[in-house]
């Protein structure tokens, strides 16, 4: 009887003790991602999964909701609505310097890079019956240029500017979200969709296998000029055979997906997040096929234009990587 009483007491004390400590220290952080069918969503979910495994030690509870994409994430981090987010390297550069979509807001000086993730290709998929074979064939067609806030929208606008096009060159310029466009393509509501995304990707797979469609080359002088002019663009290739209907390699250009934050997010938080990813790197790499070739030392540099966050620097120095 006595023994039970003591045990109960101890258990109660333990319960209260633990609850009290957790409540005081628990810190909720959010990572902005992209559409649920993209790779950013997997990046955010994977990082949170690894962070949350150590919640008992560091008290950080991480969530990674679906968002509008790169531009939306950068704006939300600036507004203090998100602590971290995934963003294309071109949009990271433009936010830092107050260009493109970020012109009105001006330079985002508090923006900090944490690491880069996978490469992303500017990907155009067209219905076979549309007759579209090159990017220039999109003229006069129904094209989904993406939701405002997405990276694909920002990047196609950069390419269109280089070509001297505006949306009036299209028969229809729709603004569907990334997660909606494969179905719209196969329902014959649009002729082509645009997605800046890592490969292989479920949404492109859906478009390629649910109806007859092809991956369209995006090359020529305007693309060459973008790549020459700007450090954050590079030529890229979508491997032949990856998607049904496209057996040959498709040339295009691309960016890096990068993980960013701001000086507002404490060094300790970023340190724990970076530690969770790189201490469990083999596990992280297995969470999406687009992560297969990731190399930590390259991830500290590739595609980053904002200064590194101090919390990330602390971890990289501990590892002897810098």
Binding site for ligand GLU (CB under 6 A): 34-35, 38-41, 69-70, 88, 120, 150-152, 196-198
Nearer CB in complex with ligand GLU: 39/114: 39
Cα atoms in the 13 Å half-sphere on the side-chain side of 77: 30
Least separation in angstroms between residue 183's CB and ligand GLU is: 16
Which tokens go with 160? 């269109």
Least separation in angstroms between residue 156's CB and ligand GLU is: 11
User: Phi and psi of 271, rounded to 5°?
Assistant: -55, -50
Nearer CB in complex with ligand GLU: 151/217: 151
Nearer CB in complex with ligand GLU: 36/59: 36
Q: In this structure, are residues 70 and 125 in contact, taking their beta carbons and an 8 Å threshold? A: no
Least separation in angstroms between residue 243's CB and ligand GLU is: 16
Cis status of the peptide bond prior to 200, with omega within 30 of 0: yes
Nearer CB in complex with ligand GLU: 101/191: 101
Nearer CB in complex with ligand GLU: 150/246: 150
Least separation in angstroms between residue 313's CB and ligand GLU is: 25
Q: What is the Cα–Cα distance from 180 to 176, expressed in whole angstroms?
A: 6
Q: In this structure, are residues 34 and 76 in contact, taking their beta carbons and an 8 Å threshold? A: no
SS3 content of the chain, % helix, strand, coil (to 5): 45, 20, 35
Nearer CB in complex with ligand GLU: 207/313: 207
**No. of H helices and E strands in the chain?**
13, 10
Least separation in angstroms between residue 86's CB and ligand GLU is: 7
Q: What is the Cα–Cα distance from 185 to 295, expressed in whole angstroms?
A: 35
Least separation in angstroms between residue 40's CB and ligand GLU is: 3
Q: What's the distance, Cα to Cα, between the start and end of the chain in Å?
A: 61
């Amino acid at each position: 009887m006595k023994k039970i009483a003591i045990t109960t007491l101890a258990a109660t004390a333990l319960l209260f003790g633990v609850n009290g400590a957790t409540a005081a220290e628990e810190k909720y952080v959010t990572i902005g991602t992209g559409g649920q069918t993209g790779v950013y969503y997997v990046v955010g979910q994977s990082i949170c999964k690894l962070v949350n495994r150590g919640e008992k030690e560091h008290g950080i509870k991480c969530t990674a909701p679906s968002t509008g994409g790169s531009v939306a994430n950068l704006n939300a981090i600036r507004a203090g609505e998100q602590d971290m987010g995934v963003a294309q390297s071109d949009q990271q550069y433009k936010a830092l310097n107050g260009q493109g979509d970020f012109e009105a807001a001006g330079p985002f000086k508090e923006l900090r890079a944490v690491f880069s993730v996978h490469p992303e290709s500017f990907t155009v998929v067209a219905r076979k019956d549309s007759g579209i074979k090159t990017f220039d064939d999109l003229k006069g067609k129904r094209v989904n240029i993406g939701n405002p806030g997405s990276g694909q929208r920002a990047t196609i606008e950069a390419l269109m500017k280089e070509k001297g096009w505006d949306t009036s060159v299209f028969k229809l310029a729709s603004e569907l979200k990334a997660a909606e466009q494969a179905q719209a393509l196969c329902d014959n509501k649009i002729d082509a969709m645009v997605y800046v995304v890592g490969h292989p990707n479920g949404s492109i797979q859906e478009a390629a296998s649910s109806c007859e469609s092809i991956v369209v080359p995006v090359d020529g002088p305007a693309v060459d000029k973008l790549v020459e002019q700007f450090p954050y663009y590079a030529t890229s290739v979508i491997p032949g055979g990856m998607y049904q209907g496209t057996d040959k390699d498709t040339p295009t250009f691309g960016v890096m997906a990068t993980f960013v934050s701001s000086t507002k997010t404490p060094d300790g938080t970023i340190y724990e997040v970076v530690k969770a990813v790189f201490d469990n790197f083999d596990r992280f790499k297995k969470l999406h096929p687009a992560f297969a070739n990731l190399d930590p030392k390259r991830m500290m540099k590739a595609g980053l234009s904002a200064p590194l966050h101090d919390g990330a620097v602390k971890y990289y120095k501990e590892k002897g990587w810098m």
